Structure formats: C-alpha cells, structure tokens
Amino acid sequence: MTAYIVRRLLLIIPTLLGILVLNFALVQFAPGGPVEQTLAQLQGLGGSAGNRMGSGAQSDISAGSNTSSGYHGAQGLDPALVSEIEQLYGFDKPPLERFYQMMINYLQFDFGKSFYSDKRVTDLILEKMPVSVSLGLWTTLLTYLISVPLGIRKAVRDGSPFDVWTSSAIALGYAIPNFLFAILLIVLFAGGTYLEWFPLRGLTSQNFHELTWWQQIGDYFWHITLPVLASVIASFATLTMLTKNSFLDEINKQYVLTARSKGLSQHAVLYRHVFRNAMLLIIAGMPAALIGIFFTGSMLIEVIFSLDGLGLLGYEAVINRDYPVIFGTLYIFTLVGLLMKLISDITYMLVDPRIDFSSREV
C-alpha cells in the first residue's frame, strides 16, 4: 500500500509537467494574446492601454514609425514601446526560458500576478473559492441525499411502476443540460416571465452585512437555491442509476440468498449485508465527484447566475488571455484532481480491506 502511494505521488510530477507543457505550447500559437490586445488598444482606443503603460505611451503612439514587427497590431508604433509592452507581460524572453522560470516559480506556488486585475493569482483563487466551494458542497450533499435512497428504492422495487416512472424522470433530467435547466428556473422563479421568488444575481444581498445572523443564513440560502438546483439536476441521474445497479448486482449474489434463508428481514439483509458492498463504488467515487463539481461543473452556472467563483474566473481569464491566471488555476486544479484520485483509491481500501494495492500497476 505504501509503495503504491509513493508511486502515485511520483507520477503526479510528469503528469503535471506534461499538462503544463502542452498548454504552454498551445498558447504560443493562439492569436490575441495580452501583447496583441494591448497593441490593439493603443492603436484603436489608446486610453486604457495608455494608462497602463504610463504617460509616455500616447507620445510613443504619435511618434510611431513604420518599422515592421512580429505583431500585426504593432504597425505604426514605436519599437521601443512594443518592447516595453513585451517586458511588461514577460514576453521579452525566449519561450523556453519563460517556461523554465514558470516551473521554478510554480514549485514554490508562486503564480505571479494577473495581467488585468493587478492581484496575485493565489489571492484571486482564495477570493473566488468560497463561492465555488459553497456551490459544490451543497450540490454534492443534495445529490447524495437524493440519489442513494432513490437508487436503493429503485433496486428493491425493480420493474415496478415506481421504478419505471422514476427512470423516465431521471432520463429526462439527464437529457436536459444544467445551463438550460438554470435558464428555465430563472424564467419560472427569478422574474424572467412568471414568478419572482428568488434573486437572479450574486450569493448574498447588498445589505448582507447589515442583517442579523439568522437573516444572513436565510439570505444565503435564498440566493443559493436556484444555482444548486440547476447543478443537482445534471448530477443525480448518474449516481442514482449507479446506486441501483450496484444494489441489484449484490442482491442477486449467493450470500444474500443465504442471509434470507436464515430468516433475516429485508431491512436487515439490505443494510447489514448488501449496503457495505454495494456502496463501495459510490463512496470511493465521492472525492472525484467533489473535485468535478467544485472546479469543472459550475462555470456555466456561475456565469448564468452571476456568481463570482472559480468557474467565472477561469472563463474570464481565457477570454482575456490572462496567462498567469490560466496556468495558475490549471496547475492547482490538476494537482488537486490527481490527489483526489489517489484519495479515491485509498478510500476503496478503507471501505473494502480485501482490495490489495501492492499488486496493482500504476
């Protein structure tokens, strides 16, 4: 077991390196990077980009020459200004040198500053994380509270009318994308067309700090209800069917028939014998489900409901070509995802000690 954990931890290093190398190489060829965007602003608008560069930026634009540059938007700009912009964003060095320096900094969890917000990437992530964690936590909790009992009920009553109509409802919910369901909830309950029971934006009200503690709790759940419902609809279908199939597989095994022949009740057979074995896959998959909901499943929900979380941060970083934020969040999410996968494997052993990791290949 210890040797397996060590091998998996060592495997994290080349996996992280490979993902960062691939993404770093891709962005070198992606058009519209921060340098090009700043040059375009200087050519067209001048104001915001000029303020970022300093008071000499406007004079450099007027005194620009026709010297050619590697950037399409640099025509007519002073080459010294272009070099200053490259130095501002760290593009004045060769790609290999920039990647090497980036990896040295990342080993120290130093992800630099955002190109546009002038905040450190770690501060931005810590600032946005409570929103995503809050959304993911309640989504995961509700998903398991609904899916596990429903899946057990469907397994016990397999083939009954209850199983048929719940399967139809689950299939319908699975077929509806969570963002489309989110829009439907807004139309129905957030003042879109019909009722106006829930707020449309944010995680709390503007006067949140002026409320009493019990009013703050009510305000928080008032805001989080629709985003959580929209997230749950896309999550509970798979878990429900997995629970049902796991229990059906165990119910038909010999040890269950033996327990029934000894006169044990249905409840005793189900929860004393079947439950532990059937829940193996479900419990062991919980860490992976958490990381999936926290960091990858909430982007569209956060955008639709204007929740300032990690999903919205990543979306805006990609749109703005904010490379420090892109690579910093990618590094952290990948690292946490790999660790969560290792925790999932360890959970298998804790739930079922019969699993032997010593003979398993990584």
- Does one domain contain both 333 and 188? yes
Res 63: pLDDT: 44
Cα–Cα distance measured from residue 237 to residue 248, given in angstroms and rounded to the nearest whole number: 17
Res 169: pLDDT: 85
Q: Is residue 121 within 8 Å of residue 112, measured between CB atoms?
A: yes
- Does one domain contain both 51 and 167? no
For residue range 307-348, list pLDDT tens digits in order.
Answer: 888 877 888 888 877 888 888 888 888 887 788 778 777 777
Parent domain of 275? 122-351
Q: Name beta bridge partners: 113.
A: 120
Six token digits for residue 352 = 């079922």
- Does one domain contain both 340 and 197? yes
- Does one domain contain both 53 and 199? no
- How many domains are contained in the chain? 2
For residue range 87-111, list pLDDT tens digits in order.
Answer: 666 666 787 888 888 888 888 888 8
Cα–Cα distance measured from residue 100 to residue 106, given in angstroms and rounded to the nearest whole number: 10
- Does one domain contain both 91 and 126? no
Cα–Cα distance measured from residue 232 to residue 277, given in angstroms and rounded to the nearest whole number: 25
b (16+ CB within 10 A) / e for 288-300: ebbbbbbbebbbb
User: Is residue 335 assigned to a domain?
Assistant: yes
Give which of 95, 89, 79, 119 is closest to 23, Cα–Cα. 95
- Does one domain contain both 279 and 157? yes
The pTM of the full predicted model, rounded to 2 decimals, is 0.71
Among 75-79, 139-143, 281-285, name the one with the lowest average pLDDT: 75-79
User: Is residue 357 assigned to a domain?
Assistant: no
- Does one domain contain both 138 and 222? yes
Under DSSP, the state recorded for 260 is: H
Cα–Cα distance measured from residue 347 to residue 300, given in angstroms and rounded to the nearest whole number: 30
- Does one domain contain both 83 and 232? no
**216 φ, ψ (degrees, to nearest 5):** -65, -40
Most confident range (mean pLDDT) of 11-15, 76-80, 232-236, 290-294 is 11-15
